[in-house]
Amino acid sequence: MGLSSVVKLVIGISALLVIAFPAYAHHPSGGAISTTFMEGFLSGLGHPIIGFDHLVFVISVGLLASTVARGFWIPIVFVSTALVGTGLHLMMVNIPMVEVVISASVLVSGILLAKLEKPGTAIIIVLAGIAGLFHGYAYGEAIIGATAVPLAAYLAGFTLIQAIISLIAFKVATKAMKPSVSYPDFLRLAGYIAVGAGMAFMAASF
């Protein structure tokens, strides 16, 4: 794929996401508070999927994990700090510019994927940890006011689905990273797409 084609693809995806963004909702249950274990669990499973900014980042985290040594720590730290971020929201800790930082995290993950040379694993882990706090904080909005059982189920749901998605992305990318193959084009393409998505989310967050 030529550079011009990639640029057109990124611009097209960005435009579509900007158009679609106002219609997409972060709340899996349409604003209703979960009252049962199953409602909480399904809401937790759904949030990182219907929230396209979260979904793009979780996939990017899994792909990035395949490109650096000890990369498996990247999704582990992200998923863990997302729980902390949700806890901060539930404790009514005010964190400003959440959507802006989430959008920026998608953009940065795309840049890292598109680049052949990566920063050290520790740096990426720190970035993933910071991003996790903000993504998790956003997840917390959907469960405020719930009792302990649906709350615990919600936490389990979004933790499980993020782990599964990032693991699948990691496995797919790892299989593509064969010794005889240079940096796979699909990883660069995924990076360009994430950059386009991040630009779109960033524009919509202001």
Is residue 3 situated within a structural domain?
Answer: no
Average pLDDT over residues 31-49: 90
Say what the pLDDT of residue 59 is: 96
In a domain, 154, yes or no: yes
Once rounded to an integer, what is the mean pLDDT over residues 90-95?
Answer: 96
Tell me whether residue 43 is in a domain: yes
Whether residue 38 lies inside any domain: the answer is: yes
**Is 192 among the domain residues?**
yes
CA distance 1 to 14: 18
Domain count along the chain: 1
Measured distance CA(10)–CA(24) in Å, rounded? 20
- What is the rounded average pLDDT of the residues 3-19? 56
Asked whether residue 116 is assigned to any structural domain, the reply reads yes
Does any domain span residue 8? no
Residue 77's alpha-carbon distances to 92, 131, 199, 201, in angstroms, are 23, 10, 25, 23
| Per-residue confidence band for 34, with pLDDT thresholds at 50, 70 and 90 | confident
| Residue-number span of the structural domain to which 117 is assigned | 34-204
Whether residue 1 lies inside any domain: the answer is no
